[in-house]
Amino acid sequence: MGEFIGREVELEVSKIAHGGIAVGRLDGRVVFVTDAVPGETVVARISDDRKKSFWRADAVRILEPSEHRREHVWSAASIDRDPRGRAGGAEFGHIALSHQRELKRQVLAEALQRMAGIESDVKVEQMPGDHAANGLGWRTRIRLHVDEQGRIGPMASRSHSVIPVQEVPLASAAVQAATPFDERFEGIATVDVLAPTRGDARLVLGEQKPTVIRERVGEREFQLDDTGFWQVHREAPGVLSAAVQQAVDDALFDPRAANLDLYGGVGLLAAAVGDRFGPTTRITSVESDARATDHAAENLSDWVGAAAETARVDRWLRDAEQNASTAERDRLRAATVVLDPPRSGAGTEVMGILGRLAPAQIVYVACDPVALARDVALAAEAGYRLDHLRAFDLFPHTHHVEAVARLVRD
């Protein structure tokens, strides 16, 4: 153990695994290789040999390149650098944009097949404007870290070392222009740069107190904290709102049911449901961050039927299961539930309670394909089937992919 670290080996990489890492084999052992493209033969430097079942390595030279290989869009992340000095956060930046989407499709389809036994012909849809911009300039928010000398940059991939940079090409022009590349910071760990649709770009330095900002989505405006969650791709709020509106099956939607927007943030998706079904729609947004809930209450104030509650989703559902009256349980059974959990997914307890409450449909917005597939499999145990699925390339040049699924009772 440890004796192979730093050694260079020749590997053929065959496919992409969850997390955006290519898979090769060395004497029968799986090796996860960064900065490679499936189909390539590479020289890779071993970075981790601690596990029996798999090792990790970083491509350092390409012997037989894939036709899909491109020069990295970010020189700070290029294969020409020592692996420890490559900027993280753009791990697909060396792959043609259309092929990135194909790899994301494969990861999503394979996760659904392996974990939920579902065959899917889902496509990963490109966002408007991304083709022309070669997938650059989409981030309306970035987080940079501060190194010991006070310089800012992303972390290297799989490491805690900061890589100082002079450009952040995935970020929008406004974010790039506002990023203080040449300043030195002291006493803080992070610098966030964000460019809301209303007002100027701004910085959030370390644990700075939140300031209320405004984001516009179509005709609607949302208030939120500059320290709080908001979808990152400039097109994401609009595209996901429309995708959720489309995913809700009208025939199963009851505006008087106890409809839910779980992991609701500042109410973006509850608003999408309300906009589609009208101001009498009853919907409760549940979110653990109290300030986000306050904003959600304000953002949803045009609907008499809308409410925002601060709670952890698991606790809120447990309480509903134990304490709801018979009438409220009937309204939950008739409900449409929008579910937009963080990357770890909803998990066993939340999916279990939802299964027992048995809402008419669950619209699941997922930022992790494996968590989605696991939760779809859990929902299947409770009698739900996946009957609608779309996927969106909301994170070009990274391995991330967003999906919107509908689950209905069989």
Of residues 125 and 309, the one with the C-beta less far from ligand SAM: 309
- The least distance separating ligand SAM from the CB of residue 392, rounded to whole angstroms, comes to 13
In whole angstroms, give the CA distance from residue 363 to residue 259.
11
- The least distance separating ligand SAM from the CB of residue 149, rounded to whole angstroms, comes to 33
- The least distance separating ligand SAM from the CB of residue 285, rounded to whole angstroms, comes to 8
In whole angstroms, give the CA distance from residue 76 to residue 154.
10
The residue number with the shortest CB distance to ligand SAM is 265
Stretch that binds ligand SAM, among 35-43, 90-98, 122-130, 258-266 (CB under 6 A): 258-266
Binding map of ligand SAM across residues 227-246, x = CB under 6 A, - = no contact? --x-x---------------
- The least distance separating ligand SAM from the CB of residue 268, rounded to whole angstroms, comes to 4
Going across the sheet that includes 202-205, the strands are 152-153, 141-146, 190-194, 202-205
- The least distance separating ligand SAM from the CB of residue 320, rounded to whole angstroms, comes to 13
Cβ atoms of 376 and 112 closer than 8 Å: yes
Contact with ligand SAM (CB under 6 A): which of 6, 210, 342, 383?
342
List 367, 373, 377, 379, catalytic entry = 367
Nearest to 400 by CA among 55, 146, 170: 170
Contact with ligand SAM (CB under 6 A): which of 215, 287, 368, 375?
287
Give the residue carrying structure tokens 């020189």. Answer: 75
Is 231 annotated in some ligand binding site? yes
Rule CB under 6 A: is residue 336 a binding residue for ligand SAM? no
In whole angstroms, give the CA distance from residue 352 to residue 269.
23
In whole angstroms, give the CA distance from residue 8 to residue 43.
6
Rule CB under 6 A: is residue 312 a binding residue for ligand SAM? yes
Rule CB under 6 A: is residue 288 a binding residue for ligand SAM? yes
- The least distance separating ligand SAM from the CB of residue 267, rounded to whole angstroms, comes to 8
Contact with ligand SAM (CB under 6 A): which of 174, 292, 332, 401?
292
Rule CB under 6 A: is residue 201 a binding residue for ligand SAM? no
Rule CB under 6 A: is residue 260 a binding residue for ligand SAM? no
Cβ atoms of 151 and 73 closer than 8 Å: no
Of residues 26 and 204, the one with the C-beta less far from ligand SAM: 204
Rule CB under 6 A: is residue 340 a binding residue for ligand SAM? yes
Rule CB under 6 A: is residue 345 a binding residue for ligand SAM? no
Q: Beta strands 29-34 and 124-125: pairing type?
A: unpaired
Is 249 annotated in some ligand binding site? no
Is 364 annotated in some ligand binding site? no
- The least distance separating ligand SAM from the CB of residue 386, rounded to whole angstroms, comes to 20
Rule CB under 6 A: is residue 218 a binding residue for ligand SAM? no
**367 carries an active-site annotation:** yes
Of residues 318 and 409, the one with the C-beta less far from ligand SAM: 318
Residues 101-160, interacting with ligand SAM (CB under 6 A): none
Stretch that binds ligand SAM, among 68-76, 111-119, 282-290, 382-390 (CB under 6 A): 282-290
Count of residues that interact with ligand SAM, criterion CB under 6 A: 15
In whole angstroms, give the CA distance from residue 126 to residue 204.
30
Rule CB under 6 A: is residue 268 a binding residue for ligand SAM? yes
Residues classed as catalytic = 367
Binding residues for S-adenosyl-L-methionine: 231, 263, 287, 340
The residues binding ligand SAM (CB under 6 A) are: 229, 231, 263-265, 268-269, 287-289, 292, 312-313, 340, 342
Binding residues: 231, 263, 287, 340
